[in-house]
Amino acid sequence: MMPALTLRNIVVGALMVALILLPVYAQLADDRFLMTLFTRIIILALAAVSLNLILGFGGMMSFGHAAYLGIGGYAVGMLAKEGIMNGFIQWPVALGASALFALIVGALSLRTRGVYFIMITLAFAQMAYYVVSGIARYGGDDGLTIYKRSQFFEPLNLSNKTQFYYLCLAILFGAIYLVRRLVNSRFGMVIQGARSNDVRMRAIGFSPYRYKLVAFVIAGTLCGLAGALLANHTDFVSPSVMYWTRSGDLIIMVVLGGMGTVIGPVIGAVTLLVLEEVLSGITEYWQIILGPLLLLVVLFARGGIDGLLTQLGERLRRGRPS
């Protein structure tokens, strides 16, 4: 089925094309930093997409999602420090560790709800934060420099900026596709059903707990992958990557872009990080603009930017005689 040519779809399509063509522009403009910036945006967008699976579709407000960024990153960093550079070992370890952590946290946290769920996920993330800050061998608070990026087969070379950019972009597109398939499957229906009415789902014979737990683990694993990418991108990993404010940033990306649409978090990540870069270039006091802006989005634009675009498109269409 071809997607309809609405304003929202045009914007999303333009965004995708822009992301694909960005390295070409960066090459022409001789601006390597643009690549660095956008690689980072894409990786954080991946993290936001993974959070959206549980937050937007499952209604599970995890306030500790950044923990997986750190776990994925530290898996790569610690193995590199011990001399194991092989990506075929590093990445599965990163994914496995994230999945395991998500399984434990999810199994314990999903028994609580509401604000208690928010706080218990926060508690586990903070524990992970303090564990890595406490290990002197891996740099403690100071963080860990990664002197060599993950090694894969020739000719894939993660130190090549263009290759790494497209690798991250491909993984992001893959993740979007995966989440889309998941959400539209029976599994996704149960998750979304449980968000609006837990009791009814149980009454018709589903155990939402298990479904929620599986979604929680998938989201954690995807975010762990983002963490492995981020560590390779910055050649550095420090505990601050899993601090609670970073979890807050991820939530903001999701809500700003639009919860519960697959693309929303990508729009949110790009908007927030580009805005940050542009505004901080214009004025030192950029947060005084961003803060009230967030408050306004919460108060008046409940579907985030994605929702806003859809509404705007509909208004435009209705205004036009058809």
Partner 1 sequence: MTLFIEQCLNGLQFGLLLFMLAAGLTLVFGIMDLVNLAHGSLYMLGAYFAATFAAFTGSFILGAVLALAATLLVGMAVEVIALRRLYGRDHLDHVLGTFGLILFFDEAVRLIWGPEGLSLPLPSWLNASIQVLPGVQYSAYRFSIIVVTLFVAAGLYILVMRTRVGMLIRAGASNREMVGALGVNIKLLYTLVFGLGAALAGLAGLMQAPILTVQIGMGENILILAFVITVIGGIGSVRGALVAALLVGFIDTLGRSYLPDILRELLSPAAASTLAPALSSMLIYLLMAIVLIFKPEGLFAAGRK
Partner 2 sequence: MRKTILAAGAAILLAAQPALAQQKSIKIGFVSTFSGPTASIGNDMRNSFELALDHMGRKMGGLPVEVIYEDDTQKPEVGKQKTQKLIESDKVDFIAGYIWSNVLLASLKPIVDSKTFLVIANAGPSQVAGELCSPTVFSTSWQNDQTPQAMGLYMNSKGVKSVYLIGPNYAAGKDMLAGVASTFKGKVVGQELTTWPTQLDFSAELAKAKAAKPDAIFVFYPGKAGVQFLAQYAQAGLKGTIPLYTAFTIDETTLPLQKDLALGVPGAQEWVNDLPNAENKKFVADYRKKYPGHRPSFYGAQSYDAANLIASAVNALKGNVSDKAKVEAELKKANFKSVRGNFKFGNNHMPIQNFYLQDVVKDGDEFALKTVATIVKDNQDSFHSKCPMK
Residues engaged in binding partner 2 (CB under 8 A): 25, 28-34, 36, 133, 140-143, 145, 147, 234-236, 238, 240-241
Please give the DSSP secondary-structure letter assigned to residue 237: E
Answer yes or no whether residue 209 interacts with partner 1 by CB under 8 A.
no
Whether 101 contacts 67, CB under 8 Å: yes
Nearest to partner 2 of 6, 27 (CB atom): 27
Whether 177 contacts 168, CB under 8 Å: no
Two structure tokens written together for 141: 């608070």
Answer yes or no whether residue 294 interacts with partner 1 by CB under 8 A.
yes
The listed partner (partner 1, partner 2, none) that binds 14, CB under 5 to 8 Å by sort, is: none
- Helix (H) or strand (E) run with residue 241 in it: none
Beta-strand runs (E) in the chain: 144-145, 236-237
Separation in Å, CA 41 to CA 31, 144, 149, 177, 281: 16, 22, 19, 18, 17
Residue 15's identity, in one-letter code, is L
Nearest to partner 1 of 116, 177 (CB atom): 116
The listed partner (partner 2, partner 1, none) that binds 295, CB under 5 to 8 Å by sort, is: partner 1
Whether 231 contacts 77, CB under 8 Å: yes
Residue 311 and residue 303: Cα distance in Å, rounded? Answer: 9
Whether 190 contacts 208, CB under 8 Å: yes
Nearest to partner 1 of 61, 85 (CB atom): 61
* Phi and psi at residue 204, to the nearest 5°: -90, 15
**Interior CA angle at 305 toward 300 and 306, to 5°?**
120
Q: Choose which of 130, 159, 207, 314 interacts with partner 1 (CB under 8 A).
A: 130
The residue count for binding partner 1 (CB under 8 A) is 45
Two structure tokens written together for 225: 């992958």
The listed partner (partner 1, partner 2, none) that binds 308, CB under 5 to 8 Å by sort, is: none
Nearest distance in Å: CB 226, partner 2 = 15
Nearest distance in Å: CB 134, partner 1 = 3
- Helix (H) or strand (E) run with residue 62 in it: none
137-166 positions binding partner 1, by CB under 8 A = 137, 140-141
The listed partner (partner 2, partner 1, none) that binds 28, CB under 5 to 8 Å by sort, is: partner 2
Residue 193's identity, in one-letter code, is G
Answer yes or no whether residue 278 interacts with partner 1 by CB under 8 A.
no
Answer yes or no whether residue 102 interacts with partner 1 by CB under 8 A.
no
Residue 45 and residue 50: Cα distance in Å, rounded? Answer: 9
Residue 263 and residue 175: Cα distance in Å, rounded? Answer: 11
The listed partner (partner 2, partner 1, none) that binds 56, CB under 5 to 8 Å by sort, is: none
Separation in Å, CA 102 to CA 84, 152, 223: 25, 27, 10
Nearest to partner 1 of 177, 285 (CB atom): 285
The listed partner (partner 1, partner 2, none) that binds 248, CB under 5 to 8 Å by sort, is: partner 1
Site stretch for partner 1 (CB under 8 A), options 90-98, 119-127, 192-200, 312-320: 119-127
Nearest to partner 2 of 30, 154 (CB atom): 30
Site stretch for partner 1 (CB under 8 A), options 21-29, 161-169, 189-197, 240-248: 240-248
Question: What is the binding site for partner 1 (CB under 8 A)?
Answer: 55, 61, 63, 108, 111-112, 114-116, 118-120, 122-124, 126-127, 130-131, 133-137, 140-141, 244-245, 248, 251-252, 255, 285-288, 290-295, 297-299
